[in-house]
Amino acid sequence: MALIQGIPGEFEPQPWGEAILRNRELLLLRIACRPPDHEVRLPGLATTPRHVVEDHTGKALTWRRDGDDLVVRLPEAGEPPVVRVALSGKLRIVPQDTVTANADGVWDLTPSGPTAHLVARRATDIAIRFVGMVEADGQYQIRLAGRRYRVGGHQLTRSTVGPFPMPELRVVPLSVPAGIRRILVAPVGTVLASIHPGRDEVTMVVTNFGRTPARGDVELPLPPGWSATEQTWTFDGLEPGRSLGWATRVAGPPGEHELRARLDAGRRSASSPYVIHL
């Protein structure tokens, strides 16, 4: 992920101490607890360092990039130094909750706060399907990639929202309304099959992220030793932005299992896997 462009921001507290932005192109790493291996890892630094030194002595320290992380090796003796990291440009970070689209260009997110962070593998127009409970009469504002979209609560969880432009390999924050527990994002034109677990059953859902009605077949393949009351469905006339679902009871051995629907809805068919716990 080293090529991903981050967003302006600040770092969360780290197990070893804290990263302080002294100015737009200078970080100070204050070491409160020396790691046993003497290596300090700063996750999600998108800006390339120019050099890394001890703050008071100017002595160069060994460092490397590990994906989006900066790893600095501390001296093995003496008090832990304050580490000065000079950056090659303005500080940009990759938040730890950042999710990259899968091979089909689809995101399947479980938001943990009011903002989610997305990265597209290539520039594309996308639409969003929110899943959760919101006020039907409420008004909500969705923000993504510099664009805003105002939508009523009734539409928010019953159809797709968008389209929005997504740049290539750039972290983009998405605002998440309160009450949303899952977010499906797909390129415009995609027909997406997703799995939504309930207490005693799962629901197969097909969402049309395209601009024309969709038709096709969907199947829920099961691992050996599993059973379901129904495994195949056919649909026709699924309007743009809309979803259609079928509930089925599944049974299998206890544990964590990944299920993925098999969808045949033309060239832009896509499927999002889901891990369920039995």
141-148 contacts at long range (C-beta below 8 A, 24 or more positions apart): 141/175, 142/174, 142/175, 142/177, 143/173, 143/174, 143/175, 144/118, 144/172, 144/173, 144/174, 144/175, 145/172
Same fold, 97-186 and 189-278: no
Q: What does the pLDDT average to over 113-126?
A: 91
220-225 contacts at long range (C-beta below 8 A, 24 or more positions apart): 220/195, 220/248, 220/250, 220/259, 220/261, 220/262, 221/259, 221/260, 221/261, 221/262, 222/250, 222/252, 222/259, 223/252, 223/257, 225/252, 225/253
Phi, psi of 156 (to 5 degrees): -55, -45
Residues 225-260 have pLDDT tens digits of: 888 899 999 999 999 999 999 999 988 888 788 889
Sign of CA dihedral 208, 211, 212, 216: negative
pTM: 0.81
pLDDT given for residue 78 in this prediction: 78
User: What 8-state DSSP symbol labels residue 145?
Assistant: T
pLDDT given for residue 1 in this prediction: 41
Task: Describe the strand order of the beta sheet including 172-175 as a list of residue ranges.
Answer: 98-100, 115-119, 172-175, 139-144, 147-152
Structure confidence at residue 3 as a pLDDT band (50, 70, 90): low
Residues 30-69 have pLDDT tens digits of: 998 888 999 999 998 888 899 999 988 889 999 998 888 8
Domain residue ranges of the chain, discontinuous segments joined by + = 17-87, 97-186, 189-278
CATH architecture of the domain covering 97-186: Sandwich (2.60)
Structure confidence at residue 11 as a pLDDT band (50, 70, 90): confident
Q: What does the pLDDT average to over 195-216?
A: 91
CATH architecture of the domain covering 189-278: Sandwich (2.60)
Which of the listed CATH numbers 3.40.50.2000, 3.30.830.10, 3.20.20.70, 2.60.40.1180 matches domain 17-87?
2.60.40.1180
